[in-house]
Amino acid sequence: MVEGLNRQLDTEVRLAAFKWLSDREMTHGDVFPLEFLRQGFDFRGTRVRVMGPQGIFKPKILPELPLSITTSPKSPYNDSFGEDNLLRYKYRGTDPQHHENVGLRRAMVARTPLIYFHGVVPGKYLAVWPVFFVEDDPAALTFKVAADDMAFFRSDISKKRYADFISDSGTDARRGYITASVKVRLHQRGFRERVLDAYRSQCALCRLKHRELLDAAHIIPDYEKDGLPVVINGLALCKLHHAAFDQSILGIRPDYIVKIRTDIRDETDGPMLKHGLQGLHNKRIVIPKSKRQRPAPELLERRWEQFIAAA
Q: Are 232 and 194 in contact (CB under 8 A)?
A: no
With 60 as the cut, is the pLDDT of residue 157 above it?
Answer: no
Give the residue with greater pLDDT, 256 vs 267. 256
User: pLDDT for 84-105, tens place per residue?
Assistant: 889 999 999 999 999 999 999 9
CA separation for the pair 284, 204 (Å, rounded): 9
Within a 13 Å sphere around the CA of 35, how many CA atoms are in the beta-carbon half?
A: 0
Mean pLDDT, range 169-192, rounded to an integer: 90
With 80 as the cut, is the pLDDT of residue 169 above it?
Answer: no
Q: What pLDDT shows up at residue 268? A: 86
Mean pLDDT, range 162-174, rounded to an integer: 74
> Residues 298, 304, 306, CA angle at the centre, nearest 5°?
115
With 70 as the cut, is the pLDDT of residue 300 above it?
Answer: yes
With 90 as the cut, is the pLDDT of residue 301 above it?
Answer: yes
With 70 as the cut, is the pLDDT of residue 294 above it?
Answer: yes
Closest C-alpha to 191, from 216, 224, 210, 208:
216
> What global pTM score does this model have?
0.84
